[in-house]
């Protein structure tokens, strides 16, 4: 009985959620218009390469963890199926964390590079101002 209801209820719930979100958004916009506030379209966020790098490394780490766990459980350890989920969760967490650490190192290098570039720009602007004075 439950297995029959899932394919029926999930699309209905999804449509209801989308309708509810659209309804609330339009109510919010109408309230803004009534108060005299211009309801501008939300601005698109600019590209954030470091955030994208972080998520990419997390997913790559989780994928590597899954692959390694699969290889370990099926070919090396040949453990019973009851103990296999512990290995999967552990390796996903380890490699996902490793991806975050790698992302942190890249972000620090990027920030230091931006800082030195800003210092060079400030120095060259000050130098130009002294030449023109």
**Res 86: pLDDT:** 80
pLDDT (tens digit per residue) in 111-131: 888 888 888 888 787 777 776
Q: Specify whether the CB–CB gap between 78 and 120 falls below 8 A.
A: no
Q: Specify whether the CB–CB gap between 88 and 39 falls below 8 A.
A: no
What parts of the chain have a pLDDT lower than 70?
Answer: 1, 41-47, 79-81, 83, 131-133
Rounded to the nearest integer, the mean pLDDT of the chain is 83
Q: Specify whether the CB–CB gap between 45 and 72 falls below 8 A.
A: no
Alpha-carbon gap, residue 103 to 61, rounded angstroms: 11
**Res 76: pLDDT:** 82
pTM above 0.95, yes or no: no
């Amino acid at each position: 009985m439950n297995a029959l209801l899932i394919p029926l209820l999930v699309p209905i719930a999804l449509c209801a959620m989308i309708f509810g979100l659209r309804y609330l958004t339009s109510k919010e916009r109408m309230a803004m218009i009534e108060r005299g506030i211009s309801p501008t379209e939300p601005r698109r966020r600019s590209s954030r390469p470091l955030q994208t790098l972080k998520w990419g490394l997390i997913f790559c780490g989780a994928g590597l963890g899954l692959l390694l766990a699969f290889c370990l459980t099926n070919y090396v350890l040949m453990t019973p199926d009851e103990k296999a989920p512990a290995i999967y969760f552990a390796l996903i967490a380890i490699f996902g964390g490793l991806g975050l650490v790698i992302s942190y190192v890249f972000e620090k290098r990027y920030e230091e590079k931006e800082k030195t570039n800003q210092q060079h720009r400030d120095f060259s602007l000050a130098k130009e101002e002294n030449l023109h004075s």
